[in-house]
């Protein structure tokens, strides 16, 4: 088994675009779930949707949540509080850039890394410069 990723975004289109990039890079080898946008298609995040996305990946070796903006962190933290403690112990919230962190996390997960290493890979992208 492998570590799954949950893409938490205020925009369903943004999350879908990132999922498309990750699947292009890794095929379908990395389990992905999304919790993005509001229930009517508006911008927003939902703790219930995040909890559901995490639960959909519960059979994997762990789950790393990638969030797009600060308020998504609040929704993710609320979702984590709702989870069964045995699942919550295997879920990590990454403090990383959404796109770069998710790409790095997916590479690590595809390579068989455990959830701690996937989290570390995502968080290692903080502060990385794109221009020399």
- Catalytic residue among 10, 26, 60, 92, which? 10
Pick 3-123's CATH classification: 1.20.58.110, 3.40.50.510, 3.40.50.300, 3.30.9.30. Answer: 3.40.50.510
Task: Answer yes or no: 10 catalytic.
Answer: yes
- Per-residue model confidence as pLDDT tens digits over 65-102: 999 998 899 999 999 999 999 999 999 999 999 999 99
Domain ranges of the chain: 3-123
33-57 CB burial, b ≥16 within 10 A, e <16: bbbbbeeeeeebbbbebbbebbbbb
What is the distance between the alpha carbons of residues 106 and 29, in angstroms, rounded to a whole number?
Answer: 9
Q: What is the pTM of this model?
A: 0.95
Looking up tokens 């295997």 gives 90
């Amino acid at each position: 088994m492998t570590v799954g990723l949950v893409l938490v975004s205020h925009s369903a289109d943004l999350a879908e675009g990132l999922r498309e990039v990750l699947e292009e890079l890794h095929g379908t080898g990395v389990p992905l779930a999304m919790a993005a946008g509001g229930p009517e298609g508006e911008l927003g995040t939902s703790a219930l949707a995040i909890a559901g996305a995490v639960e959909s990946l519960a059979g994997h070796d762990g789950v790393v949540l990638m969030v797009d903006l600060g308020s998504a962190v609040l929704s993710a933290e609320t979702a984590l509080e709702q989870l069964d403690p045995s699942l919550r112990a295997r879920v990590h919230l990454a403090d990383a850039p959404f796109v770069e962190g998710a790409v790095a996390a997916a590479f690590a997960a595809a390579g068989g890394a455990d959830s701690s290493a996937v989290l570390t890979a995502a968080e290692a992208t903080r502060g990385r410069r794109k221009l020399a």
